[in-house]
Amino acid sequence: MLTPISLMKVIAGEGNNRSTPNDKIFLGVIGTGSRGHHLAYLIKEYGHELGMEVTALCDVYQPHLEHTHAMIPEAKVYNDYRRMLDEATELHGVIICTPLHVHAGPTIDSLDRGLHVFCEKAMARTLDDTYAMAEAYYRTGKSLHIGHQRLFDPKFLRGMNKVYNDDLGVVTQIRAYWHRNNDWRRPVPEGQPELERFINWRLYRDYSCGLLTELASHHIQVANWAKKARPVEVRGTGSISFWRDGREVEDNVALIFSYDDGTQFIYDSMIQNRRHGLEVQVLGHKGTLELETNNFFLEEPPPPPKPAGIVQLLQDLEQNVLGKVPIGSSSWDPEIAMTYKGESIVADNNTDGTFEQFYGFAKAIREDKPIPGLFEEGYYASLWTLLGQQAIDTGKAVKMPEKYDISKFNPREFV
């Protein structure tokens, strides 16, 4: 079972069986675009802490491959991931940062070759590909780590501990949003308009479900984690309401995921206003977590510390002398938000968990077995993003078809 404590221990290095200083972990990166380059950079800079090294790079787009190769010149380069898997025999694991529709092939092929896989979220473009990845994971017994970095973010881990310790009371609603104000487009090299769909794959339905697979997937994972459950139903709506530039994915979505116990997870995302940024709020009858901004609020705020006696005396005198005489009162006070500032979940909020994920990946590789429960978090988050898209497309409430239930593979690890 995946508990926040077990992941905290992973980050703290407990149980990370580093037997000899020579037990290096060699990794290949498939897809060296913006995310792949960033992860390769993190491993180059900080991977020595974990004995990790990138020794192979693969991309079908030469400018991206060259950009990352310039950063790690000692790595071998490939244009075909299958060739990389055949030839780079030193590899213990691969990091897959290709576009969503190119996650399943490299993942399954790598697992089948006995490699451990870190694949970026969301898992795949289709339900069947997502399920096929799960099937390969259970079949091979290697780890398949999906890039939902909040699972390794200390503020989310501590926050989840608060949920599990009943500090929030009964959680009946979770709200999350992700707002940006940009067109989400990447520049296409001049004179090569044929690269539009290749570069801006996020905006086209064949390759991506846009805001859902790219952003919402993270918060669905958090909601499932907080509830220790998966939704039973999702309803949603969406539109292309502002960026009418030929894209096929919505720029404005709203969804409600319902859980068995009556909890509602309310999600919205848009890319034409960034006033509220992103947040995920876990609302219980005793308290609230605002995880992205590292805040915890009690429903009954602790009373502020009493001022010194002499100050209270002066305050009373002032009130008696200058105090207002009420001449009437309203029958209703507007129920505006509480002004109490809450408390920080963690004192040092200086990471988003992206690098900490590799602590988990390193542990899984060294022990040659997955971290129990971790994959299932990624699987159901990915699956429910796709079901959310179905709900938007059909205008109907959507449930998960029975065949995608993976508890049959490993009932004990089911979230």
Ligand X SMILES: NC(=O)c1ccc[n+]([C@@H]2O[C@H](COP(=O)([O-])OP(=O)(O)OC[C@H]3O[C@@H](n4cnc5c(N)ncnc54)[C@H](O)[C@@H]3O)[C@@H](O)[C@H]2O)c1
Kindly list the residues in this chain that would bind ligand X in the complex (CB under 6 A): 30-36, 58-61, 64, 81, 97-100, 102, 120-121, 147, 149, 214
CB of 316 to other proteins, least distance (A): 9
Partner that binds at residue 60, options ligand X, other proteins, none, CB closer than 5 to 8 Å by kind: ligand X
- Residues 201-234 as b/e (b if ≥16 CB within 10 A, e otherwise) read bbbbeebbbbbbbbbbbbbbbbbbbbbebbbebb
User: Which of other proteins, ligand X, none lies near 310, with the C-beta cut-off 5 to 8 A by kind?
Assistant: other proteins
The dihedral built from the CA positions of residue 292, 298, 299 and 302, taken in this order, carries a sign that is negative
* Closer Cβ to ligand X, 33 or 47, answer by number: 33
Alpha carbon distance 58, 65 (integer Å): 7
Least Cβ distance, residue 221 to ligand X (angstroms): 10
The partner in contact with residue 192, picked from other proteins, ligand X, none with C-beta cut-offs of 5 to 8 angstroms by kind, is none
Of 182 and 320, CB closest to other proteins: 320
- Whole-angstrom distance, CA of residue 346 vs CA of residue 159: 9
Q: Give CA torsion, residues 258, 232, 288, 6, to 10 deg.
A: -170
Site string for other proteins, 34-53 (x = CB under 8 A): --------------------
Instruction: Give whichever of 201 and 296 is closer to ligand X, judged by the CB atom.
Output: 201
Q: Judged by CB, which is closer to ligand X: 98, or 107?
A: 98
**Interaction of residue 70 with other proteins, rule CB under 8 A:** no
Tell me how many degrees the CA angle 246-241-259 measures, rounded to the nearest 5: 110
What is the smallest separation between the CB atom of 317 and other proteins, expressed in angstroms? 10
In the bound complex, what is the minimum distance in angstroms from residue 220's beta carbon to ligand X?
Answer: 13
Collapsing DSSP to helix, strand or coil, 1 comes out as coil
Query: Is 241 an interacting residue with respect to other proteins (CB under 8 A)?
Result: no
Query: Minimum CB separation from other proteins for residue 312, in Å?
Result: 5
Work out how close the CB of 68 gets to ligand X at its nearest, in angstroms, rounded to a whole number: 9
Find which of other proteins, ligand X, none residue 313 binds, CB within 5 to 8 Å per kind: other proteins
Binding mask 271-310 for other proteins (x = CB under 8 A): -----------------------------------x-xxx
Q: Closer to other proteins at the Cβ: 241 or 312?
A: 312
313 binds other proteins (CB under 8 A): yes
Cβ 287 to ligand X, closest distance in Å? 27
Q: Strand 278-284 vs strand 171-179: parallel, antiparallel, or unpaired? A: antiparallel
Of 25 and 100, CB closest to ligand X: 100
CB nearer other proteins, residue 310 or residue 347: 310
Q: Which is nearer to other proteins, 189 or 309 (CB)?
A: 309
Do β-strands 25-30 and 93-96 pair in parallel, antiparallel, or remain unpaired?
parallel
Rg for the chain, CA atoms, rounded: 24
CB-facing half-sphere around the CA of 5: CA atoms within 13 A: 6
CA 115 centroid distance within chain: 23
Q: Report the C-alpha dihedral over residues 103, 104, 108, 109, rounded to 10 degrees.
A: -70
What is the widest separation between alpha-carbon atoms in the chain? Answer: 87
Nearest residue to 280 (alpha-carbon basis) of 183, 352, 379: 352
Q: Which does 309 bind (CB under 5 to 8 A by kind): other proteins, ligand X, none?
A: other proteins
Q: Which does 312 bind (CB under 5 to 8 A by kind): other proteins, ligand X, none?
A: other proteins
Say if residues 38 and 45 touch (Cβ distance below 8 Å).
no
- Torsion angle of C-alpha atoms 154, 156, 161, 166, degrees rounded to 10: 150
| Neighbouring residues of 9: CB distance < 8 A, sequence distance ≥ 6 | 15
| Residue 319 interacts with other proteins (CB under 8 A): yes or no | no
Give the binding site for other proteins (CB under 8 A): 306, 308-310, 312-313
